[in-house]
Amino acid sequence: GESVGLHLPTLSVQEGDNSIINCAYSNSASDYFIWYKQESGKGPQFIIDIRSNMDKRQGQRVTVLLNKTVKHLSLQIAATQPGDSAVYFCAENSGAGGYNKLIFGAGTRLAVHP
Amino acid sequence: DTAVSQTPKYLVTQMGNDKSIKCEQNLGHDTMYWYKQDSKKFLKIMFSYNNKELIINETVPNRFSPKSPDKAHLNLHINSLELGDSAVYFCASSQIYGESTIYFGEGSWLTVV
C-alpha cells in the first residue's frame, strides 16, 4: 500500500548548523513530492517541491534531494535558525486521474537550540 | 489577506451534537480539500471537491458531509459527534490538477467531550 514515513521523529540542532530531515516513501509510481512546515497552532505551509524527473532542487536555504532508486527524500536546511523550529512533513502526490491527493508522512519535529 | 480561511478556529462540543466548519479560499482555485490531523500530528485527506463536484472521499463515515455551494467554499458538517472526532481539521485548496501546490488554512480545533 501507499505510505510515506520519516526516519526521525525529533531532530535537535544548534542554531547555525545544517539540518537534514529524511523521508522514505513506498509508492514507486509517485511522481511529485512536497515538503511542508507546520508551526505550532498553524496549518502546514509549503516549503519546496520536486518532480520525479529531478534529483535535486534548491530554494532559499533549503534543498530537497530525491533518490528514486531507494525511494528516499530529504530536506536540507542550511544555517538553521530558531524560526525553523517546527514539524516538517514530506508528502507524495498520489492522486489518480491527475487530481491532487497528498499522502503525508508522520512528521519530524525540528528543535533549534541557541 | 488570508488565502484559505476557516471558522471556527476552536470548537468544544458534546457528544451527539451536530456542528459545521466553514471554509473559504480567495485564490481562485478549482479544488478544495478537507484534511484531518490527529493527536499524533498525522495528516490524512478526507474529501476533495473540484468546482463543487466530489472527487475524493476517503471512506469517511457518512456522519461527515461536505458541502460546496461554489468553488470558493467548502463546508464540513458533522452529525452525531463522537469522542474520536476530536482532531484538527484543515481546509486546503489548489489548482485542479496534480503537481500544483496545495495551500492550507490555519485549522479548526474540534474537541468533543
pLDDT tens figures, B66-82? 999 999 999 999 999 99
Q: How far apart are CA A21 and CA B65, in angstroms?
A: 36
Closest CA to B93 of B109, B111, B110, B70: B70
pLDDT of residue A98: 65
Nearest chain B residue to A106 by CA distance is B42
CB B102 to CB A100 under 8 A? yes
CB B31 to CB A100 under 8 A? yes
- pLDDT value at B97 more than 90: no
3-state secondary structure of A32: strand
- pLDDT value at B107 more than 50: yes
Mean pLDDT, chain A, integer: 89
Q: Are B70 and B19 in contact (CB under 8 A)?
A: no
* Residues of B with Cβ-Cβ distance to A101 under 8 angstroms: 45, 48, 56
pLDDT of residue A96: 64
**Residue A95: DSSP 8-state:** -
Share of chain A above pLDDT 90, in %: 72
CB A95 to CB B98 under 8 A? yes
Mean pLDDT of the region B38-53: 88
Give pLDDT tens digits along chain A (114 positions).
Answer: 344 544 448 999 999 999 999 999 878 888 889 999 999 999 999 999 999 999 999 999 999 999 999 999 999 999 999 999 999 999 998 766 667 788 898 899 999 998
pLDDT of residue B27: 93
Mean pLDDT of the region B73-101: 90
Mean pLDDT, chain B, integer: 92
